[in-house]
Amino acid sequence: MKPTNKPKNPCFSSGPCAKRPGWTLEALKDAAVGRSHRSKLGKAKLADAINRSKKILGMPADYICGIVPASDTGAIEMAMWSMLGERPVDVLCWESFGSGWAGDCKNQLKLKDLRVLKADYGKISDLAQADWSHDVVFTWNGTTSGVKVPNGDWIPSERQGLALCDATSAVFAMEIPWSKLDVVTWSWQKVLGGEAAHGMLALSPRAVQRLEGYSPDRPLPKIFQMTKGGKLMGGIFEGETINTPSMLAVEDALDGLKWAESVGGLRGLISRSEANLACIDEWVAKSNWAAFLAEDKAIRSSTSICLKITDPAYLALPAEAQAKHAKTIGSTLEKEGVAFDIGSYRDAPAGLRIWGGATVETSDVAALLPWLDWAYEQVKATF
């Protein structure tokens, strides 16, 4: 039976993610458009975005946080290019983005002393293999596989190397053990549903020490430079951005942060995301055709919730047909206005990916699930 109840908001994309409930363009009415980002007003807004982020995330007082160019990619790349090479590097990866960082370490940074600890989609690298006399690069949540690290217990408090963590689809939805991490990056368009453009870069005192004490033998473009004459350019971490930000995007980020405060801060955001996963978990438990790509609950993401199709009739099809049918589920639901952008990532195994970050209402997830069953039945009828 075709369901009748549709999600109020059909946006389930894993980035850019759904705007917060109730968002309209009105939220941007106080944006400092047409004003210099170096004006008193502009700088105050940039500093406000930094300070609210630090507060909501419970960042230690001695950590610094800045707004940097080029989204999460810009933030993690500027950290890798500025800091790596001083000691051996381990990259842990289990999906596309982590593999991308590993590839850049090898082919662009040309790091000689590099180990890549890889796992398949749905699994996680053997975290015990990380050597903490090395620098260690990893993603907290693999957005394309729906696999997250279970916690920070595998990271020693006393470590010689730095922990560089791309946490873009984790911050504001998962507990982040700050003292275990030296570099943490994210963007605005994920859990708080902001606009894309800028990256956030948080640094521990040891990361700052590395920046001031090590100068890699490689050219660094201006947008990666964080030191001058061997000293940290502290202004970057107080709202003096390296280059011009979008004040419209800044206003939107502030709106997201204020909304985050209104739903109970970090605890509220985490509960919202976990409720979304729980809702899908209940459905998966009864499903005769879908399962989580991440079989182990401890590493299952509550933000990028990835599903695989387990129906034997589907699995008997050739890989190309499987991919085509999985895509058709997404396009069928898009046509119905029920769900946008729920196909799995282009490099990931065929299946579905439903964003369960804090801006997604659990009632919308619940409304989507019967539609998944309906769409699968439609597609199966064409096998």
Beta bridge partners of 308: 291
Q: What gap in Å lies between CA 219 and CA 198, rounded to an integer?
A: 22
| Helices 265-286 and 40-57, packing angle to 10 deg | 60
- With binding defined as CB under 6 A, does residue 15 bind ligand PLP? yes
- With binding defined as CB under 6 A, does residue 7 bind ligand PLP? no
- With binding defined as CB under 6 A, does residue 12 bind ligand PLP? no
For the chain, state the CA radius of gyration.
21
- With binding defined as CB under 6 A, does residue 72 bind ligand PLP? yes
- With binding defined as CB under 6 A, does residue 241 bind ligand PLP? no
Of 116 and 375, CB closest to ligand PLP: 116
* C-beta of residue 300 within 8 angstroms of C-beta of residue 146: yes
- With binding defined as CB under 6 A, does residue 97 bind ligand PLP? yes
**Total chain residues near ligand PLP (CB under 6 A):** 11
Give, for 202, the enclosing helix (H) or strand (E).
strand 199-203
Of 53 and 169, CB closest to ligand PLP: 169
- Burial per residue of 268-291, b for 16 or more beta-carbon CB atoms within 10 angstroms, e otherwise: ebbbbbbbbbebbeebbeebebbb
* C-beta of residue 274 within 8 angstroms of C-beta of residue 128: no
For ligand PLP, which residue of 71, 273, 287, 302 counts as binding (CB under 6 A)?
71
Q: Which stretch binds ligand PLP (CB under 6 A): 106-114, 163-171, 279-287, 335-343?
A: 163-171
Of 71 and 82, CB closest to ligand PLP: 71
* Pairing between β-strand 163-166 and β-strand 183-187 as defined by DSSP bridges: parallel
Residue matched to tokens 């106080």: 30
Of 6 and 118, CB closest to ligand PLP: 118
Q: What gap in Å lies between CA 341 and CA 345, rounded to an integer?
A: 10
Collapse the DSSP code of 67 into the 3-class scheme (helix H, G, I; strand E, B; otherwise coil) and give the result: strand
For ligand PLP, which residue of 7, 59, 65, 73 counts as binding (CB under 6 A)?
73
For ligand PLP, which residue of 143, 276, 302, 344 counts as binding (CB under 6 A)?
143
Of 187 and 204, CB closest to ligand PLP: 187
Q: Which stretch binds ligand PLP (CB under 6 A): 55-63, 111-119, 129-137, 161-169?
A: 161-169
Beta bridge partners of 34: none
Q: Ramachandran region of residue 34, left (φ > 0), alpha (ψ -120 to 50) or beta?
A: left
For ligand PLP, which residue of 53, 82, 125, 169 counts as binding (CB under 6 A)?
169
- With binding defined as CB under 6 A, does residue 168 bind ligand PLP? yes
Of 30 and 120, CB closest to ligand PLP: 120
DSSP state of 152: S
Q: Residue 338: which of 1, 19, 6 has the closest Cα?
A: 6
Of 300 and 325, CB closest to ligand PLP: 300
Q: Which stretch binds ligand PLP (CB under 6 A): 164-172, 221-229, 357-365, 373-381?
A: 164-172
- With binding defined as CB under 6 A, does residue 194 bind ligand PLP? no
Of 118 and 324, CB closest to ligand PLP: 118
Of 134 and 353, CB closest to ligand PLP: 353
N-terminal to C-terminal alpha carbon distance within the chain: 19
Q: Give the nearest distance from C-beta 121 to ligand PLP in angstroms.
A: 13
Q: Give the nearest distance from C-beta 78 to ligand PLP in angstroms.
A: 12
Q: What share of the chain is helix, strand, coil (3-state, %, to 5)?
A: 40, 15, 45
Q: Which residues make up the interface to ligand PLP (CB under 6 A)?
A: 15, 71-73, 97, 139, 143, 166, 168-169, 187
